[in-house]
Structure 1
Amino acid sequence: MYIEEKLEELNEKFYNYITTIEESLQKKELTDDFFFIDLKEFDNEVIRVIALYHPQGELLREAIAFLKISSFLVKIKKSVKAFIKRYDFNNDKIDALYQNALSAITTLKLATKSDNLEDAYSTIISYEKIADEIYKELVIEIKQIDDIDLILKTLNIAKKLERISDSVKTITKYLLFAKEGIDI
């Protein structure tokens, strides 16, 4: 029974990390809690759970899913930080990518506390496809700009936001793997 409690603690920590990332992205500022997200320690906790409690079957899938998820949380955290630090101009496509990334994170956060992972996954796939389309449109649109520094900065920020949706999709896949043992 103790393993379930440890996995629930990991789930709660994951939920808090997603909430903190979402909050920073919403506010477009790096909150104090954002800097306290320690994903290396999260990895170590997952490894300790696996090593000390010898989970089997479904419980092992959940622990492995958390281990895989942490690297994608690192990517999301870095993307949020880069966006907040570098986005100091106006661009409709960047704003659309921002809203899309925020919606994807919020959907993931809500799904984490509910039993609707399957529904959330299809919604998140939609967000990921929308992000890809917006990014493609931006690449076409940006060819009209003469300022190479602005082009590079815009593409960098856009790619970071687009990757958030990709990472959220992958995290949701791992959560489904943990819950149902589906192929990933």
Structure 2
Amino acid sequence: MISNFKTSLENIKTKIEDIGTGLLESNKLILLALHDCNTEKFTEAKTHIKNISSKTDDLDNSIIKVLALYTPEAKDLREVIAYMKITNELARACSSTRSFIRGFTDVCEDVDVATVKEYALPMQDSTVNAIELALSMLNCDDADEMQEIYNDVLIEENKTDDLYEMVERNLSIQADCAHSFDKFHKMLRALRKSGKISSRAISIANLLVYAKVGGSLSS
């Protein structure tokens, strides 16, 4: 029974890694696309997060089966519950990624190159780092190391927040007419999605600390 439970749990973790890897690859391609508003790379980025609803539904069903079949307790239950909540965070991160691709593709060529380099690129770079760090925690069992990685994810998430506030102030100053205001508003709305993705990464990191180490469940 214990062996079957552990096998099922590993299968769940593998499915989480699969979705997470797709999310990471999509955001890496977005980072490349931002350098020159490469529409082909933006389009390619979407292919890595296709059929997410189907994948997360399958993942939820696997988790429900584990709860029904094995009725885990203590640490095992904590890990299963964390994985269930991580599924939702991954779905939301993928949704924000699609929205970012769609929104930024519409305005990318209209945005000043210097603005992209100064704000959009470092924001997306921090988002990619946050996702990658959070996913690395799936295969980490050392409590101190997990806390260190969590802190690194938090740093990257804070960077995206700070950069968004900076670009928001900068573009508000530049938006001196109705036409430019509409353009800048669309860009800000797209960039906000990048910030939301890193927020999902810190939520995932928090849940993994809870699963492996314990503590309060704040996500």
> Which TM-score band (shorter chain)?
over 0.9
CA drift of 1:129 comes to 1.1
Measured at CA, do residues 129 and 46 of structure 1 come closer, stay the same or move farther in structure 2, by a change above 3 Å? same
Question: In the alignment, is residue 120 of structure 1 matched against residue 146 of structure 2?
Answer: no
Please tell me whether the aligned partners of residues 17 and 135 of structure 2 are also in contact (alpha carbons under 8 angstroms). yes
Give the distance between the partners of 1:78 and 1:31, measured in 2 at CA. Answer: 10
Please tell me whether the aligned partners of residues 135 and 162 of structure 1 are also in contact (alpha carbons under 8 angstroms). yes
Give the distance between the partners of 2:22 and 2:45, measured in 1 at CA. Answer: 9
- Matched with 1:137 is 166
* Unaligned ranges ≥5, structure 2: 31-43
- Matched with 1:63 is 80
Please, what TM-score do these two structures have when normalized by structure 1?
0.92
- Matched with 2:193 is 160
CA deviation digits over 1:133-181, x for unaligned, max 9? 1111011011122312212211111111111111111111111111111
Give the distance between the partners of 1:3 and 1:110, measured in 2 at CA. Answer: 23
- The range that moved more, 32-41 or 49-58, is 32-41
Please tell me whether the aligned partners of residues 79 and 164 of structure 1 are also in contact (alpha carbons under 8 angstroms). yes
- The range that moved more, 11-20 or 40-49, is 40-49
Specify which structure has the higher proportion of helix.
Answer: 2
Please tell me whether the aligned partners of residues 128 and 166 of structure 1 are also in contact (alpha carbons under 8 angstroms). yes
Measured at CA, do residues 133 and 31 of structure 1 come closer, stay the same or move farther in structure 2, by a change above 3 Å? closer
Question: Structure 1 residue aligned with 2:128, among 102, 120, 125?
Answer: 102
CA drift of 1:31 comes to 5.0
Given residue 205 of structure 2, which amino acid in structure 1 is its aligned partner? Answer: T
Structure of larger gyration radius: 2
- The range that moved more, 144-153 or 169-178, is 144-153
Given residue 27 of structure 1, which amino acid in structure 2 is its aligned partner? Answer: L
CA drift of 1:113 comes to 2.4
Give the distance between the partners of 2:6 and 2:212, measured in 1 at CA. Answer: 13
> Please, what is the CA RMSD of the aligned residues?
1.6
Give the distance between the partners of 2:131 and 2:45, measured in 1 at CA. Answer: 16
SS in 2 for 1:87: helix
Given residue 134 of structure 1, which amino acid in structure 2 is its aligned partner? Answer: L
Give the distance between the partners of 1:119 and 1:54, measured in 2 at CA. Answer: 32
- Matched with 2:39 is none
- Matched with 1:34 is 49
Question: Structure 1 residue aligned with 2:209, among 154, 176, 180?
Answer: 176
- Identity over aligned pairs, percent: 25
SS in 1 for 2:124: helix
Give the distance between the partners of 1:78 and 1:69, measured in 2 at CA. Answer: 14
